Amino acid sequence: MSRSLPLVTAADRRNRLGRRHCLAPSARAASATLAADAVVALHATDAATVYLSARARLRGGGPSDIERALYEDVSLVRLLSMRNTLFAVSAELAPYVDSSTARGIAAKERRSLLKHLAEDGGGLDAGWLASAEAAALDALDTGGPATGSQLSAAVPALRQKITIGRGKKYEAESGVATRVIRLLAADGRIRRDRPRGTWTSSQFRWVHTLPWPPVPAGEARAELARRWLRSYGPATEADLKWWTGWTLTEVRTALAAVGPEEVRLDDGRTALVSPGDTAPEPAPEPWAALLPGLDPSGMGWADRSFHLDAAHRPALFDYAGNIGPTVWWNGEIVGGWAQRPDGEVVWRLLADPGREAAQAIATEAARLADWVGDARVTPRFRTPLERELTA
């Protein structure tokens, strides 16, 4: 007789999302660091996303509380990691993210830059690169936090230019400063400090820092998989492979170390949860959320069918598959939102969740507008609905 797997319904999954992602009011986190841990990592490609994703999950506080975590306590740090994408993670988790994903990305970045230097034929090589990196670090030690342009002004080597694709149709001259700075950041030798401008700015200053302590790669991948499964399970190998960017072998090895349990979904498919995590999830109180583009709750799975109607996808995603600002009701995406140039937060529902939902969404939109204040947020990856709402 075949064994009967525990059933985890779509409603259970949405309940888990509300509680575990700190989106239901009673489940909100006390700090930005705890909010990040709740979803493992906050997307950080767009500077505003870190703030708006944390805000939606916090009991209170303003942008200054998140700035404190990023730049004073340094309890929340940005790393180029999963899927070669910038994320903000807790300092506690950072060594595991670094060893499981960032190290491989940094090695690839170094090989790529050295290849471009060799193809340029200008005599720049690994020795030159090491010297340029050392000069950049010395400049930060001497002059303090600096933007990329300020570093280039202080370090002559960073003003060098190389030719990419020499002799080919796409031949182009490129400065090395951005590439060297990106490499130093990927290696964990510099980190982003306060930006020039407000919390929505991506023009960061850089500071010299120490690399994260090494963790065996297998141990690091297992720890990251364990945390991800707790936040995003039930999920599949394909979901974890997509989220991390690991190879299928790495995914399977990490999951084997975790020892997940199989469960059955509504549609008959099987999925994985953390060991012992098969019980039904109690429903939290009704909740609404306005989440920013690239928010983890919208980007955590390859298959999002339990919280997203496929018919809504064209309005809410850009051509590359990046999700835009979304409106949620009890664990389902029901619309999108935007901020107009005058600061007004506007939204459009793509489904009719009822009067209670509409009132809760309006209340949440007012809370968001009050929190953002005079700041203006334009997503880096703009979607059809967001563009319509701001037109």
Per-residue pLDDT 10s for the chain (391 aa) are: 346 899 999 999 999 999 999 999 999 999 999 999 999 999 999 999 999 999 999 999 999 999 999 999 999 999 999 999 999 999 999 999 999 999 999 999 999 999 999 988 888 999 999 999 999 999 999 999 999 999 999 999 999 998 887 777 777 888 899 999 999 999 999 999 999 989 999 999 999 999 999 999 999 999 999 999 999 999 999 999 999 999 999 999 999 999 999 999 999 999 999 999 999 999 999 999 999 999 999 999 999 999 999 999 999 999 999 999 999 999 999 999 999 999 999 999 999 999 999 999 999 999 999 999 999 999 999 999 999 999 8
**Which structural domain range is residue 177 located in?**
94-208
pTM, whole model, 2 decimals?
0.95
- 203: in domain: yes
Residue 310, Cβ neighbours under 10 Å: how many? 8
How many domains, in total, are found in the chain?
1
Predicted confidence at residue 23, as pLDDT, reads 98
Distance CA 152, CA 139 (A): 10
- 12: in domain: no
- 138: in domain: yes
- Is-contact 45 86, C-beta < 8 A? yes
- 39: in domain: no
- 32: in domain: no
Predicted confidence at residue 1, as pLDDT, reads 33
- 113: in domain: yes
Q: How would you label 92-124 residue by residue, b for 16+ Cβ within 10 Å and e otherwise?
A: ebbbbbbbbbbbbbbeebeeebbebbeebeeeb
- C-alpha distances in Å from residue 50, one per residue of 47, 198, 224, 369, 382: 6, 13, 20, 16, 17
- 142: in domain: yes
Task: State residue 45 phi and psi, 5-degree precision.
Answer: -60, -40
Distance CA 324, CA 292 (A): 7
Distance CA 33, CA 73 (A): 10
- 186: in domain: yes
Given the structure tokens 């007004």, which residue do they identify? Answer: 344
